[in-house]
Amino acid sequence: MSDTTTTEHPEPEADEAVEHHDEGHAHPSDWAYVKIAVVLAAITALEVFTYFETVLDWGVALVPSLIFMMIVKFYLVATWFMHLRFDSKLFGRMFTAGLILAVGVYLVTLTVFEFWV
């Protein structure tokens, strides 16, 4: 026969649970996330249309317009779905610095390979 003993884990007190929930922030409704998702889908569709549209001659404006749409999508995803709008401003600045660095490296790379000419 095996002797099984159960170890009881102490339950958190009611005050601790309430205190934990009070530290958070009010989340937006599900409908707000659906609206943001629809906006992101529309921007993505516009990006695809912009790239594949052969009737309009975008010329030099093609890449800057795609980069602008990329930045808008990054901002929306980072602020809403990653909840940066509710966190410390430091986190938002870190993501902004990373975005600026990434776009800068991308533009330098395009310039080095004479993409703009």
**DSSP class per residue in the chain:** -----PPPPPPPPHHHHHHHHHTS-PPPPHHHHHHHHHHHHHHHHHHHHHHH--SS--GGGHHHHHHHHHHHHHHHIIIIIS-TTTS-HHHHHHHHHHHHHHHHHHHHHHHHTT---
Print the domain residue range for 82: 27-112
Please check whether residue 60 lies inside any domain of the structure.
yes
Q: What is the mean pLDDT of the chain?
A: 78
pTM above 0.75, yes or no: no
- The total number of structural domains in the chain stands at 1
Please check whether residue 12 lies inside any domain of the structure.
no
Tell me the per-residue pLDDT of 33-85, one tens digit each, with 9 for 90 and over.
899 999 999 999 998 888 777 666 777 788 888 889 988 998 888 888 887 87
User: What's the pLDDT score for residue 114?
Assistant: 77
Please check whether residue 9 lies inside any domain of the structure.
no
Please check whether residue 87 lies inside any domain of the structure.
yes
Please check whether residue 84 lies inside any domain of the structure.
yes
Please check whether residue 117 lies inside any domain of the structure.
no
Please check whether residue 52 lies inside any domain of the structure.
yes
Question: What integer is the mean pLDDT of 3-32?
Answer: 57
87 pLDDT exceeds 60? yes
